Structure formats: C-alpha cells, structure tokens
A and B are shown apart, each in its own frame.
Chain A
Amino acid sequence: MVGAVACLSAYTGIGVVVHGSSGCWFYPSSLLKTDLGCTDLSAEEAVMGSGERVRAVVESALARHPRVAVVNTCVPGIVGEDLAGLLDGLPVTLVDAPGFLGDASVGHTAAVAALRPVVDPDAGTVGIDGLSPLDPFFRGDLHECERLLRLAGAVPGTRYAGGPVESLGRASPVSVVANPVYAAGPGERAGDLLGLEAVRATFARLADRDPRIDPGPVEEECREADMRCRRACERYLARHDPPRAAILGDGDRVRAAARTLVRYLDADVVLLGDRAGTPGSPGERWWRAGDLGLVQEALQATSPDLVLGSSFEERLSPGAAFVPFAPPVRGRPRLASVPLAGVEGTLALVEAVLLACTGRRKA
C-alpha cells in the first residue's frame, strides 16, 4: 500500500485517498509529507459497508484535484467491497494494494498499472522508469537520468513515477531505468544506469534504436569519471588496505555497487544482501536482507569494515564505515539530490565510500 501511495503521490494532477484506518494513512503521510486523504475506516464500516464514507472523502478530494486515486488497504481488501460500483461516475482510479500482497515495489507496480499508461510509438521521448519517492536517491536519480538523456540529444519523457499524470496518456516507447526494483512502466527498456558499464551499454542500445541519439558525449563522461575514480581510489589504496564490504539493499543496486567497489578499490565483498530475497548465483555471498535477524547474523559472521545499507545496518555495525544506500536513512540531514544511477551516481558512490573509509580510520 505504501509503495502504491508513494508512486501515485509523485504525479501531479491526481489526488490520493487511502481507503483504510487512520493508522494506514499515518505512515505514508508522515513519510511522504504530502496531502493524502483517508477514509478512516471504522469497525462498523468494515462490517456494514463503507460506501457513503468513501464517496464523501473522494468527493472532498475532487474539490482539490481533477482526478483521484483510491488505494485499497488490507481490511477493504479482505471485505471485498465493490468500490468501482460505489464510485461510479467519478474520475477515480482504483488501486488494489493491500499490504499482505507484498512489499513497496508490488504496490508501486500495481499503481502504475492502474494508471493505464498508453505507449505512443511516435512520442519521440525516452522515459525514466524505476523512480519511487520512497527511495532516498529518487530526486538525484531523476535529475541525473534527465541530464544524461539531454547530453545524448534525447528528450526525457514519461516518468514512472512522477510528472504530470496526463503524460501517461502518451507514454514514451522506450525507457531507461534508475532503480530496477521499481521498474514498472510499459514499453521497451533500454537498460539500467547502475555503474559506468551499464550507462555505456544502455546509451549504446538507445542509439541503435534511434539514430538521433548520440552516445558519444555520455561515453566521454564515462571515460572521465572512470579516470577520476581510479585516481582517487589509487591514492586511498596507497595508504590503506582494500575494504571488506557488506552491501545491502535493492538487488541490482547491490550487484552494481559490488562491481564498482571491486573495480576501483579491489574490495573484498564479504556480504551481499537483497531485500527482495532473490537468491544469488552459486558462489556469491547473498543473504535475504529483508530479515533484520538474518542481517545481524550475517554481519557478525563476516565482520565487514565498510557497510553500504540502511540505518538499520548502520546500527548493527557500530565499528564499520557506513554509506547510506537503502531506506530508511535516519539521523543525518539529506538536502542535496544525490543520485546512485548514472555517471554522477557512480562518482557520488565512490566519493561517499572513500569519505566513510577515511573518516573511520581517522576516528
């Protein structure tokens, strides 16, 4: 449910109503700090029906928005009320996303599908997929994807999620992906932008597809960024041993960060953790990072001196250098739009790792 609400709230031109109890509303509301409606479902309404309440709340939201999305939570999901019938005639999008269906990415995908984007093969734009306001790198990734697309002469198009909701009516035929765990848009995917190799490959595919796209400037940026990372890391390695790294977060990001750390810092990656629980290839040190007990066990077993993860992993590894890499990131102000994707994303990651490792040694 939270993933769906976050996705929908990223679009302008549509209001969001949580159909559930006030507790269901409180968490996304405090996290996203945006205008969310709520039907404040009570026990009586769960039994006797919530039609009048839902319609009243939606009508009130329609006074502020041209269109409203109603996100179903667990209880109405179980009760199975006919919301479509109750809201007949109103400009409403229904999203069935009770929490028991899965994690935030499941809700995000359900929300994108419910908005029914229509691909226009002649749109002449390149979409940006894999964006969620729940992701601490959401704004940074968006800016970086747009910058790289413009650098290659492409026109940034539909976002999943973000921008005017009307943009989904003429969606880009092809997209680049910022964070694959939230990739939910329709059309072709040129690839993700996690790491310099992926950036090169994705822009090469875009250029193959559309001769108006010139990957040269992006290639050049990748080359320069590669040099800068090499130089900075060689200076670090001249004085220090390579880090023993644990990386925990969304699967593809974890893989990409591991490749970057090995490439530039000769890191010993002792632990890779995917929150979605996807098993790794044989020989990889993958753990299901969605269970904090397992994460604690794995961190104790591997004793990393560098941890990329969330504030949870930070608290579990008090002696290690820490780089924010997955939500939640608490107790440290985050004002700048830092990316993980693209050329700047790789530079920002390597910079953050070097600062954290150097800071730990000074401490």
Chain B
Amino acid sequence: MPCLLSDDLGEEEVIFGGEAALARALDEAVARSPGSIAVLSTCVAEAIGDDCRAVASRVPGTIPVVVIPVGGFFGGGFLEGERAALHAYGRLASRLFDPGRGDDEPVVVLVGEKNLEFEADAHADELGRLLGHLDQAVGLRFVREAPTAALGRLPGADLLVLREPALGPVADRLPVLPGTPRIDAFPVGLSATVGFLSAVGAALGLDADAACEAELDHQETVLARFAGLAGSRVRLPAGNRWLAELAEALGLVVDPAGVPLPVPDPAPVGTAGIARLLSRWRRAL
C-alpha cells in the first residue's frame, strides 16, 4: 500500500496559508524514514500561493524530496500530471545515478506504466515473460513498485520500453545516454508481440530468432485452445490491424451483422493479453 499523507488543509489554512500544515506533514513523512518524499501541490495550495518548494527545501538533505506542482486547474489534465511526475522522478534519478556502479546485465526499463490500470502488473509480468525468452528481465519499472535507490539505474538504461507512444516527449527528457534505444509501446497483437522480441534483440545486440520461434509456438498453442471459435460471424471495430490479424488467425468471419465482440481499452498486452481477450470473446459467442 503506498504511503500517502495529507496536510489536511481546512478552511483556516485556506485563509491563513497552508505552509505550516505542509511542514507538519513533511515532519511526519520524515519520521517514517522513507527512501524519498514526493510533495504534490493541489488546487488549493496553488490558488492561495503556498510556496511548497520552499517548505520542502527544509527537509534534511538525507531524504530526497521531489516537488510536483500538479494543482488540477494549473497543471492540466490527468496525462499532464502523470508526465510532470515522471519528469520530476527523472531528475531525481540523475541525482541518484552512480557511474561507478555498472550493471552486469543490460537494463531494460518500463516507462510510464498506467498505475491506475487494473492489469498493470499483469502487463509487466507478460513483458517479463517475453524478455525471459532472451534471458533478460525487467530491470526497472519507472515508476511503479520501485524503491527510490533503484531509480538510479535509469541513466544507465540500455533500453526504454514505453507504455504508449504518447510518452515519447517524456522519454525525450529522461536522463539517459543519447541514442539509448527505445520501443514506443507495449506490444499489442500477435505479430507485434513477436516483433517486440525482435526489437529487443536488435536493441540489445542479441539474436532473437529462437525467442521469436518459441513465442510463435506459444501463440499457436494459445490459439488452438480457441479453435472452436473458427467460422463464427463477429462484428469488430473497423480499421484495427491487430484485431483483423487476430480474427484471421482464428478463422472468424468479420461481418457487420455478426455478434459484437468486446474490445478493451487500453488494448491487451502480449500473448497473455490476447488469451484473456479470447476467453471474453468465447463467452460472448
């Protein structure tokens, strides 16, 4: 459970200022000896002009403090808040980087997982499984379930795997070496999942042929479990390549008058995601 504290601003603080309340909350946070403290200013703090950065600067230097101004009406929408947090933790990562501590294995970093997504850990597990074909592992989840000290691995990353292409501008500003390879999104669809392995292999200088073969075999096994769906007349959203590819692989007949099939948003990740989707389709059919 994430440790979330609040400075609990009430009417009095709104009128007389909330900096003292923030200082008390920071004292409470420091007493718990965390790896780091993130201070997120909200609408009220921004509107009344509290100087959160100044208050945060008084925390003892042994505990890194990251101030993220995300007052809703100043900070924009959900995505802007997420990006501001990633930028802030990127800056912290560069402070924590130890150039003398080289990693023996390539560091693969997942960037910008959707932390409110119900399947977030399942997606990370699936990427871990795929990387396992290449004897690799997820080196850092930036930022999810990561101890503060682990963030120092970011500047030494060998490959960034972004959750979605929209995170490109965030990745552009991360403290990594120029030219660090990047995969723009978690893989969605059968061929994209195999393509992910090829891309990882190319980025890390590894031969991915055997890994791709193993994943293709795995996909065949998964599809065989749903062979009974072949010939079903189904309706799917148009213009979606991975769905068309999946329908073809299963022998589904796409027909505007067919049974409408659920397609989740965000789309399922990897072969495991496809398998869960097919279970839903089988129930719908």
Q: B22 → chain A, closest Cβ, in Å?
A: 14
CB-CB under 8 A from A315, the residues of chain B are 1
Is B132 on the interface with A (CB-CB < 8 A)? no
CB-CB under 8 A from A21, the residues of chain B are 43, 71-73
Is B117 on the interface with A (CB-CB < 8 A)? no
Is there an interface contact between A75 and B73, defined as CB atoms closer than 8 Å?
yes
Measured in the bound complex, the distance between the Cα atoms of B267 and A352 in whole Å is: 37
Interface-lining segment among B7-15, B50-58, B224-232: B7-15
Is there an interface contact between A75 and B44, defined as CB atoms closer than 8 Å?
yes
Is there an interface contact between A78 and B72, defined as CB atoms closer than 8 Å?
no
Is A264 on the interface with B (CB-CB < 8 A)? no
Is there an interface contact between A20 and B28, defined as CB atoms closer than 8 Å?
no
Is A238 on the interface with B (CB-CB < 8 A)? no
Is A293 on the interface with B (CB-CB < 8 A)? yes
Is B48 on the interface with A (CB-CB < 8 A)? yes
The size class of the interface chain B forms with chain A is 20 to 34
CB-CB under 8 A from A154, the residues of chain B are none
Measured in the bound complex, the distance between the Cα atoms of B44 and A24 in whole Å is: 12
Known A22-B78, A101-B11; judge A79-B72 contact (CB<8 A).
no
Is there an interface contact between A78 and B47, defined as CB atoms closer than 8 Å?
yes
Is B242 on the interface with A (CB-CB < 8 A)? no
Is B77 on the interface with A (CB-CB < 8 A)? yes
CB < 8 Å neighbour of A100 from B5, B44, B78: B44
Is there an interface contact between B48 and A22, defined as CB atoms closer than 8 Å?
no
CB < 8 Å neighbour of A312 from B1, B13, B71, B72: B1
Known A74-B47, A100-B10; judge A23-B74 contact (CB<8 A).
no
Known A23-B72, A312-B1; judge A78-B78 contact (CB<8 A).
no
Interface of chain A residues 96 through 121 with chain B (CB within 8 A): 99-102
CB < 8 Å neighbour of A79 from B10, B28, B47: B47
CB-CB under 8 A from A46, the residues of chain B are 47, 73
Is there an interface contact between B73 and A42, defined as CB atoms closer than 8 Å?
yes
Is there an interface contact between B73 and A100, defined as CB atoms closer than 8 Å?
no
Measured in the bound complex, the distance between the Cα atoms of B28 and A130 in whole Å is: 35
Is there an interface contact between A43 and B73, defined as CB atoms closer than 8 Å?
yes
CB < 8 Å neighbour of B47 from A42, A75, A101, A102: A75
Is there an interface contact between B43 and A74, defined as CB atoms closer than 8 Å?
yes
Is there an interface contact between A43 and B74, defined as CB atoms closer than 8 Å?
yes
Is there an interface contact between A20 and B72, defined as CB atoms closer than 8 Å?
yes
Measured in the bound complex, the distance between the Cα atoms of B47 and A20 in whole Å is: 13
Is B273 on the interface with A (CB-CB < 8 A)? no
Q: B40 → chain A, closest Cβ, in Å?
A: 11
CB-CB under 8 A from B81, the residues of chain A are 23
Give 1 or 0 for each of B50-82: 1 = CB within 8 Å of chain A CB.
000000000000000000001111100110010
Give B116's nearest chain A residue, CB to CB: A30
Is A73 on the interface with B (CB-CB < 8 A)? yes
Measured in the bound complex, the distance between the Cα atoms of B263 and A239 in whole Å is: 51
CB < 8 Å neighbour of A74 from B1, B28, B44: B44
26 contacts between A and B (CB under 8 A): A20-B43, A20-B73, A21-B72, A21-B73, A22-B72, A23-B72, A23-B77, A23-B81, A24-B43, A24-B72, A26-B78, A41-B73, A43-B73, A43-B74, A74-B42, A74-B47, A75-B43, A75-B47, A75-B72, A78-B44, A78-B48, A100-B9, A100-B13, A100-B14, A293-B5, A315-B1
Q: Which 6 residue pairs spanning A and B have beta carbons closest together?
A: A21-B72, A23-B72, A21-B73, A74-B44, A41-B73, A315-B1
Which residues of B come within 8 Å of A, CB atoms? 1, 5, 9-11, 13-14, 28, 32, 42-44, 47-48, 70-74, 77-78, 81
